[in-house]
Structure 1
C-alpha cells in the first residue's frame, strides 16, 4: 500500500518535495506523543510534524473546538467580523509583550514572515533587510531571498537587498573561539561596520534559535546588543518565532525574551505550534507599524473560524497546563541524558538546545567536517527503534533535531533517549 502511494506521489508531486527515510513513512493517526504508520507500527514522535504538534496528537480540547466550530461555520474571510479571530488576537496581543499590539493572521510561517517584510519595508521605505547567516524564514519569493542557508534558497533573485550578519551560530565561524562576552562584542562590531557601508536597512530579521539551521543560537543578550546599534539608525527588529514561540524553549514564552533587557521586538512572527496542526500563522506589531499600509489588504484563509477555534483551544491548554514549565523540566533532563550519551560517541560534535528544542550535530570524528551520511544513518536507526526525529543544519544537514510535543513525560523522554543512544552508537 505504501509503495503504491510512493509511486503515485512521485508521479504527480515535485522532485524537490523531500521525503524522509529510504522507505518513506505514511502516518495514519496519532495520540498524545505517539503516531502510527499504515502498517500499524507505533512510533514515539520527537519531531511533531516539524514542531507543529505543540501540545499532543489528537488533543481532545482541540478536536472538540474544531468539531463544534465546523458544525457552525468554517470560513467567511476577513471581510466579515469573526469572533474566534478577535478572541485569539486579544490573547496573543496580551502575551506578546508588545505595547499597543495589533495581530494579523496568515496560513503559515512563510506567509507571516512575508507579511513582516512587507510591513517593515513599507514603514521604513527601504528594501534592504539584515538577516542572519545560517537562517531560514520560509519558501516564498521574499523569504527565500533572505534565507541565509543555501540548501534552502533555490534562487538568488529577490525583491530585497539582503545583508547577512554573523552571530546565529555560536560554535562555528571566525568568533567561535571567543568567550560569550567577546563573541557578542565582535558580532556587534561586525554589525556596526556593515551598517557603515550601506543605506539604512528596514529591519533585522532573526530566529532566536535557528530551526532549519540545526537548533543553533547565540549567547543570551546578542539581539539586545544588536538592537542598541539598530536603534541608532531606526532599524526595526523582527523576531521570527515560528519555531521558538509559545514556551517551547522552556526558559521563556518567546525566544526573544533571552535578549529582552531593552524591550520587545518591533515585530514578532509566529506559526507552527499555535495551531497544533491546523494552518495558522501570524504577525504581531505595534499599531503604528501594522497600520502603515496605505492600500487595501485582506486574507482569504488567514484567521478562518475553524483554525482560530483550534488555536485558541490549543493556546488555552498550553497555558493552563504550564507546558512551558514542562518543556523546561523534561527538556532539561533530556538534554543532560543526550549529552551523557554523546560523550561516548565520537561522531557527536555538540548537543545543544533549550527546553524541548534540542540539536545533535554530527561530524566526522576528530574534525569539524559535516557528516550528513551519519545523520541519515541515525534517522533510519531511530525509526527502526520506534522513534521519529528530524534533521537540519547549515552544514550539509548533519544535525539531528529533537522537538517532541511539549506535554512529553519523563518516562517518554527516557524511552526516546534510549532509542537515540542505540541509534547514535550504530554509526
Structure 2
C-alpha cells in the first residue's frame, strides 16, 4: 500500500519535498507520545511532526475544543470580530514579556518571520537585515533570504540585503576554542566590525537555539550582549521562537529568556507547538512597531476560529500541567542518559540541547568531518526499533534532532534512549 502511495506522491508532488526513510511511512493515527503507521507498526514519537505536536497526540482537551468550535463556525477571516482570536492574543501578549504588546496571527512560522521582517524593514526604513550563520527561518522568499544554512537556501536572490553574524554555533568556527566569556566578546567584536561596514540594519533575526541547524546554541547572554550594541543604533531584535517557545527548553518559557539581561526582544515570532498540530503562527511586537504599516492588511486564515480554539485549549493544558517543568525534569534525565550512551560511540561528536530539545552531532570518528550517511543510518535504525526522530545540522545534515511532546514521562524517555543507544551502536 505504501509503495502505491509513494508512487502517487512522486507523480504529483515536487521532487524537493523531502521524505524521511528509504521506505517512507504513512502515519495514520496517534495517542499520547505514540503514533501508528499504515502497516500497524507502533512508534514512540520523539519528533512530534517537527516539534509541532507539543503536548500529546489526540489530546482530549484539544480534540474537544476543535470539535465544539467546528460545530459553531470554522472561519470568518480577520474582517470580523473574532472572540477566540482576541482571547488567545491576550494570553500570548501577557506571556511574551514584551511591553504594550500587539499580536498578529499567521498560519505558519515562515509567514510569521516574513511578517516580522516586513514590520522591521518598514519601521526602520531599511532592507538590510542581520542574521546568524547556520540559521533557518522558513521557506518564503524573504525567509530564505535570511537563512544562513545552505542546505535550506535554494536561491541567493532576495528582497533583503542580509549580513551574517557569528555566534549561533558554540563548538565550531574560529571562536570555538575560547571560553564562554571570550566567545561572547569575540562575537560582539565581530558584530561591531560588521556594523561599521554596512548601512544601518533594520533588525537582527535569531533563533535562541537553531532548530534546522541541529539544535545548536551560543552561550547564555550572547543575544543580550548583541542587544546592547544594536539598541545604541536603533536596530531591532527579532527572536525566532518558532521552535524554542512554549517551555520546550525547560529552563525558560521563551528561548530569549536565556539572554534576558537587556530585557525582552522588540519582536518575537511563534508557531509550531501552540496549535498542537493546527496551523498557527504569529508575531508579537511593541505597538509602535506593529502599528507602523501605513496600508491596509488582513489575514484570511491567520487567527481563524478553529485554530484559535485549539491554541487556547493547548496553551491552557500546557500551563495547568506545568509541561515546562516536565521538559526540564524529563529532558534533563534524557540528555544525561544519551550522553552516557554516546560516550561509547566514537561517531558522536557532541550531545547538546536543553529540556526536550536535544541534538546529537555525528562525525567521522576522530575528525570534525560531518557524516550525513551515519545520521541517515541511525534514523533508519531508530525507526526499525520503534522510535521516530529527526535530523538536521549546518554541516551536511549530520545531527539527530530529538524533540518529543512535552508530556513525555520518565519511562518513555528511558525506552527511547535505549532504542537510540542501540541505533547509535549499530553504525560502528
TM-score (norm 1): 1.00
Q: Which residue of 2 aligns with 1:158?
A: 158
Q: Which residue of 2 aligns with 1:107?
A: 107
TM-superposition CA deviations, 1:56-102 (whole Å, max 9, x none): 00000000000000000000000000000000000000100000000
Secondary structure, aligned partner of 1:146: coil
Q: Which residue of 1 aligns with 2:196?
A: 196
Q: Which residue of 2 aligns with 1:399?
A: 399
Q: Which residue of 2 aligns with 1:176?
A: 176
Q: Which residue of 1 aligns with 2:25?
A: 25
Q: Which residue of 2 aligns with 1:313?
A: 313
Say whether residues 1:210 and 2:188 are aligned partners.
no
Say whether residues 1:279 and 2:276 are aligned partners.
no
Q: Which residue of 1 aligns with 2:85?
A: 85
Q: Which residue of 1 aligns with 2:383?
A: 383
* Structure 2 CA distance for aligned equivalents of residues 393 and 262 of structure 1: 29
* Structure 2 CA distance for aligned equivalents of residues 44 and 3 of structure 1: 23
Displacement of 1:261 after TM fit? 1.2
Secondary structure, aligned partner of 1:351: strand
Say whether residues 1:185 and 2:185 are aligned partners.
yes
* Structure 1 CA distance for aligned equivalents of residues 402 and 298 of structure 2: 36
* Structure 2 CA distance for aligned equivalents of residues 231 and 268 of structure 1: 16
* Structure 2 CA distance for aligned equivalents of residues 339 and 225 of structure 1: 30
Gaps of 5+ in 2: none
Displacement of 1:232 after TM fit? 1.4
Secondary structure, aligned partner of 2:262: coil
Secondary structure, aligned partner of 1:29: strand
Say whether residues 1:345 and 2:339 are aligned partners.
no
TM-superposition CA deviations, 1:188-234 (whole Å, max 9, x none): 00000000001110000000000000000000000000001001110
Q: Which residue of 1 aligns with 2:228?
A: 228
* Structure 2 CA distance for aligned equivalents of residues 338 and 63 of structure 1: 33
* Structure 2 CA distance for aligned equivalents of residues 17 and 197 of structure 1: 38
Q: Which residue of 2 aligns with 1:373?
A: 373
Segments of 4+ moved more than 2 angstroms: none
* Structure 2 CA distance for aligned equivalents of residues 99 and 190 of structure 1: 30
* Structure 1 CA distance for aligned equivalents of residues 172 and 46 of structure 2: 26
TM-score (norm 2): 1.00
Gaps of 5+ in 1: none
How many residue pairs are counted as aligned between the two chains? 427
Displacement of 1:341 after TM fit? 0.5
* Structure 2 CA distance for aligned equivalents of residues 269 and 25 of structure 1: 31
Secondary structure, aligned partner of 2:72: coil
* Structure 2 CA distance for aligned equivalents of residues 126 and 251 of structure 1: 35
* Structure 1 CA distance for aligned equivalents of residues 410 and 322 of structure 2: 15
Q: Which residue of 1 aligns with 2:16?
A: 16
- Alignment root-mean-square deviation, CA: 0.3
Q: Which residue of 1 aligns with 2:58?
A: 58
* Structure 1 CA distance for aligned equivalents of residues 343 and 259 of structure 2: 30
